Amino acid sequence: MSDRRPYIAGNWKMHKTGREAEDFLWALLPQISGEDHAEVVICAPFTALVNLIDGSRGSRVKVAAQNMHQAEAGAFTGEVSAGMLSELDVRAVVLGHSERRQYFNETDAALAEKLPAALAAGIEPIFCVGETEAEREAGQMQDVLRRQVTEGLAGVPAGQLPAIVVAYEPVWAIGTGKVATTEQAQEAIAFIRELIAGIDAAAAPQVRILYGGSVKPDNAAELLSQPDIDGALIGGASLDPGDFAALVAAGDAA
């Protein structure tokens, strides 16, 4: 782990009502009230955001949304804008998650607009990239990452790359129980950092890059020990306050 501050983000996906989010916080906050080394982020459904924001004020928890539209306003039924999230005090947003790409046809072109829109509203983008199992087996991992990183970051203003958090999530390891080996995760994330250096050499050492894909308390420390892995984007294990607290502890120790 470098001197980049560790970043532990739980992605709840379509889980937890507002009341369940409050219950989660009551259980979590006493367990993470000590060392404050890692940043702690909860990425929640839209309906739970206000509950989490109100319940986490004064704590180390930062609340993130799981998606947003790139336009400031318009005829986009079912969508929310960066300004709407900012008004709620949402401080980060997941963009380009593989499930958004796969099920909702989110494109690299759309992400090239969403990232600067989030930054302009003062919201930290958590920008997700990663290859499918078929792409990895076909030897296309680097080609996929090159396209996603370069096209997705194309609209980011000069000098603002360090404000973005990148999450490498090999699609074949999400919710499957499969985990990239430590070597596979480090190799891919180091390659992503090289790609960022090709855009802005000065920014690359500052950008935090996370690993996401079946991260659990028993494998987090090894992953976080790698030189280019700055944290984790956590799915299933983030739904249990005890497991998530253990992952925060791994980030604090990194």
Q: Where are the alpha helices (DSSP H) in 92-171?
A: 98-104, 108-120, 133-137, 141-152
CA distance 223 to 231: 8
E-strand spans in the chain? 7-11, 39-43, 61-65, 92-95, 124-129, 165-168, 208-212, 231-234
| Options 99, 124, 135, 169, the catalytic residue | 169
Instruction: Based on DSSP, count helices (H) and strands (E) in the chain, helices before strands.
Output: 10, 8
| Options 69, 97, 131, 135, the catalytic residue | 97
Task: Check if 169 is active-site.
Answer: yes
Task: Check if 97 is active-site.
Answer: yes
CA distance 70 to 81: 7
Positions marked catalytic: 97, 169
